[in-house]
Structure 1
Amino acid sequence: MKVYCTRPGCPRPHNYFSDLENNSIIRTVQQKYCMTCGMPLILAGRYLPTKLLGKGGFGTAFLAIDRYTPGMRQCVVKQFQPAGNLNQTQMQLAQDLFEREAIVLEELGNQHDQIPALFAYFPLLVENLNCKEEQFFYLVQEYIDGQTLEEELVEKGRFTETEVVQILRDILNLLKFVHNKNIIHRDIKPSNIMYHRNGKLFLLDFGAVKQVTNNPIGSNRSSTGIYSLGFSPPEQISGGQVFPSTDLYALAVTIITLLTGEQEVNKLFDVHSNQIEWRSRVQIDSNLGNILDRMLIAAVNQRFGTATEVLEALSKLPQFSQHQDLETSKSMQSQIQTPVAITNKSRTIPKTRINRSFSSFEILFGAAFTGFEGTLIAIALLNLFSLTVVSLICAAAVFVMLIFSQINRWIEKQDLLIISAITFIVLFFIPLLRGNLGIGEVIILSCGISLIAVAITSLFSLIQKLLSLLL
């Protein structure tokens, strides 16, 4: 088993222990130490970091397992590690922010099922190679297995209007809950919003939270200057007081990046008008555009003041009302049917997936895969059972199953390449499955069918678009 060293700057943080391949040994083994720097690897006696997830302004995140849970539950371990050379005052401020994240996660995570729960928070005092003591701070939180909106944007391109309205509604409801707790997130952006694999949207990284109660409206106390360039309004960039509408501004920028597909927010900023220019890049409902524009106003007193106000404005949009009707219908059906569910930190989450619409690339790539993979399997079936009705039915069923599996996203992305490669290797090394066909003929035939599938799919897509324009 690989265990990752959490000491900053460790030259070889990867450690492998063969005895930890056995789960029963993992639960009882004594402390392990980094073979390079001597850092204790089993944090707080129970958490084993296995992978580096990423680094932020004030911490490094690791994927870890909790050896004291029955299923070796995965979790995220965050280590306090501010970037840059900070003076004592800045270091204390950074540490306070990190501790505040733990406090907020404990308060919010256990009360809302779209905020990761806090499992633990602890310090660690160790000696470095110079025999000097170093102190580290860790917090352990729920691991959300999914994909951030930033990752989806890179992979699939711009989002549709329907998709962003759904995201906008979900995050506004989340912010309504957070703001009612007198807390401001202050770092809303695509990389801090994640879709779990079960379709639930999560708000991540409360490391830059601001307690409104510690900075009441009307006071002269300034913010700590923590923000993400491009997503933060003027009052936050200047180090001034922050408000709930500060989060609304950042959320509007987030939605605009999803709509336009522009990953670099600064490219949307017009220095002449001193505003984000985005309306000419997308075609959306003008009322939705007006709502986003009002969330983006530089003057705080002209912006929407609360998430509730934005939700009320959104409720008047036709697509929002239709989505609410659909959610109501699903809710009524769930009361009649017995749902399949998974349990997560004392709450039950319906095991459903909000299917993202397929991009043009995904559709064409899926068609190519279906043609190639289906042909390989059909060749094997026809050679095993000869040209019989059974073999033809089985071959047709394979094509249907391949298409059905992709529609439901049971197989996607790199799965398609892996499956095709494995099937091709099997035919390559087992001549019986390809009969009288040479490997070159198999490649030509499979690629030919694949191209035909792409051509047919492209034709149907074109016909669909023409019909949608005419109708």
Structure 2
Amino acid sequence: MQLHCTRPGCSRPTNVFPDLDDAATLKTVQQKFCTNCGMPLILVGRYLPVRLLGRGGFGAAFLGRDRYTPGFRPCVIKQFQPSGNLSAPQLKIAQDLFEREAEALEQLGREHPQIPDLFAFFELSVANASTQQDDKFFYLVQEFIDGQTLEEEFLRQGKFSESEVVKVLKECLKILKFVHENGSIHRDIKLSNIMRHRNGRIYLLDFGAVKYATKAAGNANSSTGIYSIGYAPPEQMAGGQVYPSTDLYALAATCVMLLTGKQHNELFDAYSNTWKWQAFATPSRLLAQVLDQMLLANPSQRLPSAQAALAALSAKPAAAVVAPSAPPPAAAPVVAPPVRRKSALPPFPLVESLGGALFTGFEGGLIAIALVSLLGTTWISGGFWLILLGILVLAQRLRVIEKIDLVILAAVTFGIVGFFGQLHRASAFVALGSSFINVLFLAIVGGLAVVTIAILFNLIYKLISRIL
């Protein structure tokens, strides 16, 4: 049998003991030690670390076996092992987070089937020959979930179908409803902390950052600055108060990544502080509305709870209802939660579109002048013009060039074309106007022409969106 040393920095942590392949020996042997560093391998006489699963900022996780169970039950052994040189206050915070995870698993895991259960939490003191002092190690042992995290699935298969995302969203909301109703906030929802068991069941992992909203001293809801970039909402990143809707924001961010197959930095526009994820996906109107409400920057404007989000996902379009002839006088009317009607078409970004249209027309005019001067008015120059114009439009669509880039590129192109006209007064160029003023005039005319088309398109778009 193979056992893995849990001492941080052990240069040869893998140990093989053929005698432990015998079940009777495995159950009765007192202890085994690392052949490299002497670290005890059977933790508290019970748990056997078999292989390393991974390392994080505050520790390492091992696949283990519990030899006090008939089938040597698999488990996850987590060791508190902070990386880097932490100060005493930082080390205390890190250890508190580790103990908080054990506390959360003990309270929540035993009561909910989709949160791993806690099996053990203990401290181990081991003599250090070089320092002549005892080294202290902290461990927690939790239920092993045989499956893959959504991050692993995402990296393997790319974006999920809408039905898959809705299933994940609903399952996670049900778990969060339980977590929030028990006075806790997870605070670190992300792809790597959601796992799908081989049987399809969704689990929520890693409660190290959980906040006990009703237990913490002082400001009960204040954040400690623990968050994952790309998932955390503004109030958490600013170190302010956290709410149940803080978890909803992170869950929605997770879902839009799954829907689009894109990373958060491709979906979030820092300039406008908004998510632009619908440019990469075609979700149903209901799902898009719910996710957008969960992703609002202001926590007071988001859906307030996991239950509210579940209700919104289950909402159906209003239908005509025939009132009964004699309604019971004591029955209170049931009022459906107000749902703001949203056009089937996404809002048209007028200012951004007009700016892009002006740039495209201006550049198109400059490119046309240059091509005609070089190639003449032939189908070849026309083909090159369409290709270059298409590249410009695609670059804006993919945000390769945007905002100040448009102005800089337009100025550089104008300078090159105008300067070329001054140096090479070819007949075609003279006919078009080789001076800087003439080049500028023709480019501006092209820009205004495209802007006019964009304004007409906007009017038609608004008319259609109102009808729909």
1:143-222 superposed matches below 5 A: 143-215=144-216, 219=219, 222=222
Asked if the contact 2:100–2:208 (Cα under 8 Å) also holds between the matched residues in 1, the reply is yes
Match of 1:383 in 2: none
1:100-139 superposed matches below 5 A: 100-130=100-130, 131-139=132-140
Mapped pair 1:232 → 2:232: yes
Cα distance between partner residues in 2 of 1:185 and 1:267? 25
Match of 1:83 in 2: 83
The aligned amino acid for 2:144 is Y
Asked if the contact 1:5–1:15 (Cα under 8 Å) also holds between the matched residues in 2, the reply is yes
Cα distance between partner residues in 1 of 2:195 and 2:12? 31
**TM-score (normalizing by structure 2):** 0.66
Match of 2:33 in 1: 33
Match of 1:43 in 2: 43
Deviation at 1:90, TM superposition (A): 1.3
Match of 2:332 in 1: none
Cα distance between partner residues in 2 of 1:265 and 1:40? 43
Mapped pair 1:255 → 2:255: yes
Deviation at 1:317, TM superposition (A): 5.0
Asked if the contact 1:3–1:14 (Cα under 8 Å) also holds between the matched residues in 2, the reply is yes
Match of 2:15 in 1: 15
**Deviation sequence 1:379-427 (CA, Å, 0-9, x none):** xxxxxxxxxxxxxxxxxxxxxxxxxxxxxxxxxxxxxxxxxxxxxxxxx
Match of 1:386 in 2: none
Cα distance between partner residues in 1 of 2:8 and 2:316? 50
The aligned amino acid for 1:299 is N
The aligned amino acid for 1:270 is D
Deviation at 1:273, TM superposition (A): 1.2
Cα distance between partner residues in 1 of 2:285 and 2:245? 22
The aligned amino acid for 2:153 is E
Cα distance between partner residues in 2 of 1:151 and 1:206? 19
- CA 18–159 in structure 1, closer or farther in 2 if over 3 Å, else same: same
**Deviation sequence 1:250-297 (CA, Å, 0-9, x none):** 0000101110112x3222221221222100100111221121111111
Looking at CA atoms only, which structure, 1 or 2, has the larger radius of gyration?
Answer: 2
The aligned amino acid for 1:163 is E
Deviation at 1:214, TM superposition (A): 3.0
The aligned amino acid for 1:132 is Q
Cα distance between partner residues in 1 of 2:283 and 2:252? 14
Match of 1:432 in 2: none
The aligned amino acid for 1:281 is F
Match of 2:309 in 1: 310
For residue 227 of structure 2, give the secondary structure of its aligned residue in structure 1.
Answer: coil
Cα distance between partner residues in 2 of 1:233 and 1:317? 29
For residue 231 of structure 1, give the secondary structure of its aligned residue in structure 2.
Answer: coil
Deviation at 1:178, TM superposition (A): 0.3
Question: Could you list the runs of 5+ residues in structure 1 that have no partner in the other structure?
Answer: 319-471
- CA 55–234 in structure 1, closer or farther in 2 if over 3 Å, else same: same
Match of 2:62 in 1: 62
Aligned CA RMSD, in angstroms, stands at 1.5
Could you tell which deviates more after superposition, 43-52 or 282-291?
A: 282-291
1:303-452 superposed matches below 5 A: 303-316=302-315
Asked if the contact 1:291–1:310 (Cα under 8 Å) also holds between the matched residues in 2, the reply is yes
Mapped pair 1:272 → 2:301: no
Cα distance between partner residues in 1 of 2:81 and 2:243? 27
Deviation at 1:9, TM superposition (A): 1.0
Deviation at 1:109, TM superposition (A): 0.8
The aligned amino acid for 1:101 is E
Cα distance between partner residues in 2 of 1:293 and 1:19? 58
**Deviation sequence 1:442-471 (CA, Å, 0-9, x none):** xxxxxxxxxxxxxxxxxxxxxxxxxxxxxx
- CA 90–27 in structure 1, closer or farther in 2 if over 3 Å, else same: same
Asked if the contact 1:193–1:203 (Cα under 8 Å) also holds between the matched residues in 2, the reply is yes
Count, aligned residues: 316
For residue 123 of structure 1, give the secondary structure of its aligned residue in structure 2.
Answer: strand
Deviation at 1:184, TM superposition (A): 0.5
Deviation at 1:74, TM superposition (A): 0.4
Cα distance between partner residues in 1 of 2:169 and 2:272? 26
Question: Could you list the runs of 5+ residues in structure 2 that have no partner in the other structure?
Answer: 318-468
Cα distance between partner residues in 2 of 1:83 and 1:317? 50
**Deviation sequence 1:37-58 (CA, Å, 0-9, x none):** 1111000101110111111222
The aligned amino acid for 2:309 is V
For residue 82 of structure 1, give the secondary structure of its aligned residue in structure 2.
Answer: coil
Asked if the contact 2:60–2:78 (Cα under 8 Å) also holds between the matched residues in 1, the reply is yes
- CA 160–32 in structure 1, closer or farther in 2 if over 3 Å, else same: same
For residue 140 of structure 2, give the secondary structure of its aligned residue in structure 1.
Answer: strand
Q: What's the % identity of the aligned pairs?
A: 59
**Deviation sequence 1:221-270 (CA, Å, 0-9, x none):** 732111111000111111112111110000000101110112x3222221
Deviation at 1:200, TM superposition (A): 1.0
**TM-score (normalizing by structure 1):** 0.65
The aligned amino acid for 1:122 is F
Deviation at 1:20, TM superposition (A): 0.9
Asked if the contact 1:124–1:137 (Cα under 8 Å) also holds between the matched residues in 2, the reply is yes
Cα distance between partner residues in 1 of 2:104 and 2:96? 12
**Deviation sequence 1:172-193 (CA, Å, 0-9, x none):** 0100000000001111011111
- CA 99–220 in structure 1, closer or farther in 2 if over 3 Å, else same: closer
Cα distance between partner residues in 1 of 2:216 and 2:121? 25
The aligned amino acid for 2:67 is R
Asked if the contact 1:37–1:129 (Cα under 8 Å) also holds between the matched residues in 2, the reply is no
Deviation at 1:30, TM superposition (A): 1.8
The aligned amino acid for 1:145 is D
Match of 2:98 in 1: 98
Cα distance between partner residues in 2 of 1:118 and 1:215? 22
Cα distance between partner residues in 1 of 2:178 and 2:220? 26
Cα distance between partner residues in 2 of 1:83 and 1:229? 19
The aligned amino acid for 1:189 is K
Cα distance between partner residues in 2 of 1:153 and 1:109? 26
Deviation at 1:220, TM superposition (A): 7.8
**Deviation sequence 1:142-162 (CA, Å, 0-9, x none):** 000011111111112211111
Asked if the contact 2:61–2:79 (Cα under 8 Å) also holds between the matched residues in 1, the reply is yes
The aligned amino acid for 1:275 is T
For residue 247 of structure 1, give the secondary structure of its aligned residue in structure 2.
Answer: helix
1:273-288 superposed matches below 5 A: 273-288=272-287
Match of 2:392 in 1: none
